[in-house]
């Protein structure tokens, strides 16, 4: 009954999460996540290390099985479908991994063309054209014969985006797009995400803990903490939020130096003194 209700009340959502729980063994990582992603919007999932945001992303692309709850993606509950159906959905989504995850034994061109060669019956000349187009879109035109090991970190990430775009996905997922990049290169990747958003009206979901990048690219944000959704809203709503957790997260990153040095010192010495007491 609940399922039908959701389908009726949220007909336009691209992705709907309903009470999603994910566990590794005995420990539950996500404790009942609920939110919707609208078509064409860029949703940024924020959270600290160990908050469960990466697990959430892995669950959304079907790499982890939820222990309970529903994930409605393009009208199907991917928490309860066969692997064949899941693979059909996967052809319509693209994922850019944190380190790029390019296949080291293949050239950049072969990497990008792989999904096309595997899933389509396009002629080789057509694939070549699509390949050049996708590499051009991410600013890597002319790099098709390079091996991934010959590329810099930022270029690897761009190549990974080109591969994720190969099948013209409707939804694009990014895992920590600016992790491990210097600020200028990271800004370039942010710019790329903005361009994709404007040019293709793709639904984009980004997991990150980089606040500057998050506020630049997001339409809406979700803050995850200890496996729960703490807050969800537009960038403006997040910025002006008075929710203590949101403030703590936003301000902590904005001011990495601990302001109350005395408190900090006291905390350290307390810790220090206690065992010797």
Partner 1 sequence: MELTTQIGESVTDGLAYLGALASLGGRAAYFTFIAPFQGKPVRLQRAITQAMQTGVGALPILSLITFFIGLILALQSAYELRKFGALNYVANAVAISMTRELGPLITAIVVIGRSGSAFAAEIGTMKVTEEIDALETMAIDPIQFLVTPKFIAMMVMLPCLTIWANSMGILGGALFGVTQADYTWVRYIRSSLDALFLRDITTGLIKSVVFGMTITAVGCHEGLSTGAGAEQVGRSTTRAVVVSIFLVILVDLVFTALFFFMSER
Pick the closer one to partner 1 by CB: 163 or 220: 163
| 80 contributes a contact to partner 1 by CB under 8 A | no
Instruction: Give the shortest CB-103-to-partner 1 separation in angstroms.
Output: 6
Please measure the distance between the N-terminal and C-terminal CA atoms of the chain and give it in whole angstroms: 60
Instruction: Give the shortest CB-105-to-partner 1 separation in angstroms.
Output: 8
Instruction: Give the shortest CB-95-to-partner 1 separation in angstroms.
Output: 4
8, 12, 27, 104: which one contacts partner 1 (CB under 8 A)? Answer: 104
Rounded to 10°, the helix 124-137/153-165 angle is 130
Site for partner 1 in 161-200 (CB under 8 A): 163
Calculate the CA 276 to chain-centre distance: 46
Token couple for 88: 């059909």
Instruction: Give the shortest CB-43-to-partner 1 separation in angstroms.
Output: 18
Tell me the window of 24-32, 81-89, 192-200, 203-211 that interacts with partner 1 (CB under 8 A): 81-89
The helix (run of H) or strand (run of E) holding residue 42 is strand 42-46
Instruction: Give the shortest CB-240-to-partner 1 separation in angstroms.
Output: 36
Pick the closer one to partner 1 by CB: 64 or 250: 64
Sign, CA torsion 145/148/149/150 = positive
Q: Can you tell me which residue has the tokens 């945001």?
A: 53
- DSSP labels for 98-148? TT----TTS-HHHHHHHHHHHH----HHHHHHHHHHHHHHTT-TT-TTS-G
| 120 contributes a contact to partner 1 by CB under 8 A | no
Site for partner 1 in 82-101 (CB under 8 A): 86-88, 90-91, 93-95, 97-99, 101
| 114 contributes a contact to partner 1 by CB under 8 A | yes
Token couple for 35: 């939110």
Residue 202 exposed, middle or buried by CB count within 10 Å (0-12, 13-18, 19+): buried
For residue 185, the SS3 value is helix
Pick the closer one to partner 1 by CB: 166 or 222: 166
Interface residues with partner 1 (CB under 8 A) are 58, 61-63, 86-88, 90-91, 93-95, 97-99, 101-104, 114-115, 118-119, 163
């Amino acid at each position: 009954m609940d399922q039908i209700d959701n389908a009726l009340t949220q007909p336009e959502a691209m992705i709907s999460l309903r009470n999603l729980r994910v566990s590794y063994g005995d420990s539950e990582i996500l404790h009942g996540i609920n939110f919707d992603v609208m078509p064409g919007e860029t949703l940024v999932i924020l959270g600290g290390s160990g908050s469960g945001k990466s697990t959430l992303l892995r669950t959304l692309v079907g790499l982890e099985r939820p222990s309970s709850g529903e994930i409605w993606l393009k009208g199907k509950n991917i928490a309860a479908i066969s692997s064949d159906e899941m693979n059909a959905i996967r052809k319509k989504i693209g994922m850019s991994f944190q380190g790029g995850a390019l296949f080291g034994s293949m050239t950049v061109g072969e990497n990008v063309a792989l999904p096309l060669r595997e899933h389509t019956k396009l002629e080789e000349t057509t694939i070549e054209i699509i390949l050049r187009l996708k590499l051009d879109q991410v600013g890597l035109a002319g790099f098709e014969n390079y091996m991934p090991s010959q590329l810099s970190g930022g270029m690897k990430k761009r190549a990974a985006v080109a591969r994720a775009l190969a099948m013209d996905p409707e939804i694009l997922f990014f895992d920590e797009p600016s992790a491990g990049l210097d600020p200028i290169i990271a800004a370039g990747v942010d710019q790329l995400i903005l361009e994709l958003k404007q040019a293709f009206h793709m639904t984009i979901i980004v997991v990150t803990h980089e606040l500057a990048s998050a506020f630049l690219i997001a339409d809406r944000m979700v803050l995850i903490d200890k496996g729960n959704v703490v807050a969800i809203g537009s960038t403006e709503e997040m910025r002006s939020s008075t929710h203590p957790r949101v403030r703590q997260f936003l301000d902590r990153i904005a001011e990495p130096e601990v302001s109350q040095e005395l408190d900090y010192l006291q905390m350290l010495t307390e810790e220090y003194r206690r065992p010797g007491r």
